[in-house]
Amino acid sequence: MSTAVLIGFLVAAAVLAWWAPPPLSRLEPRSSPLPGWVGKVWGWAAKRWSGRRKVNRAVVRELPETLDLLAVCLEAGAPMTNAIATVAAVSQPATAAILHGIDAQLQVGRDPQDAWGSLADHPDWGPPARDAARSARSGTSLVECLRVHADEARRRRREQETKRARSVGVKSVQPLALCFLPAFVLIGVVPLVASLLGTFTGR
Percent of the chain beyond pLDDT 70? 67
Q: Are 153 and 67 in contact (CB under 8 A)?
A: yes
Q: Does residue 189 fall inside a structural domain?
A: no
Domain count, the chain: 1
Q: Does residue 146 fall inside a structural domain?
A: yes
Structural domain boundaries, residue 166: 56-171
pLDDT above 50: residue 26? no
Tell me the pTM. 0.59
Q: What is the CATH number of the domain that holds 81?
A: 1.20.81
Q: Are 135 and 142 in contact (CB under 8 A)?
A: yes
CA distance 114 to 130: 10
* DSSP per position, 121-160: T-TTTHHHHHHHHHHHHH----HHHHHHHHHHHHHHHHHH
- Candidate from 59-68, 123-132, 154-163, 181-190 with smallest mean pLDDT: 181-190
Higher-pLDDT residue of 147 and 23 is: 147
Q: Are 86 and 60 in contact (CB under 8 A)?
A: no
- Candidate from 92-101, 112-121, 182-191 with smallest mean pLDDT: 182-191
CA distance readout (Å), 116 to 58, 73, 127, 137, 201: 20, 17, 10, 11, 84
Residue 111: which pLDDT band, with cuts at 50, 70 and 90?
A: very high
- Predicted local confidence at residue 20, as pLDDT: 52
Q: Tell me what the mean pLDDT of segment 32-45 comes to.
A: 49
- Predicted local confidence at residue 146, as pLDDT: 96
Report CA torsion sign: 192, 193, 196, 199: negative
Residue 163: which pLDDT band, with cuts at 50, 70 and 90?
A: confident
CB neighbours of residue 113 within 10 Å: 14
Q: Does residue 68 fall inside a structural domain?
A: yes
Most confident of the following: 9-18, 28-37, 178-187: 178-187
- Candidate from 89-93, 125-129, 184-188 with smallest mean pLDDT: 184-188
- Predicted local confidence at residue 45, as pLDDT: 46
Q: What is the mean pLDDT of the chain?
A: 78
Higher-pLDDT residue of 116 and 184 is: 116
Q: Does residue 6 fall inside a structural domain?
A: no
- Predicted local confidence at residue 120, as pLDDT: 93
pLDDT above 60: residue 114? yes
CA distance 13 to 186: 9
CA distance 154 to 161: 11
Q: Does residue 187 fall inside a structural domain?
A: no
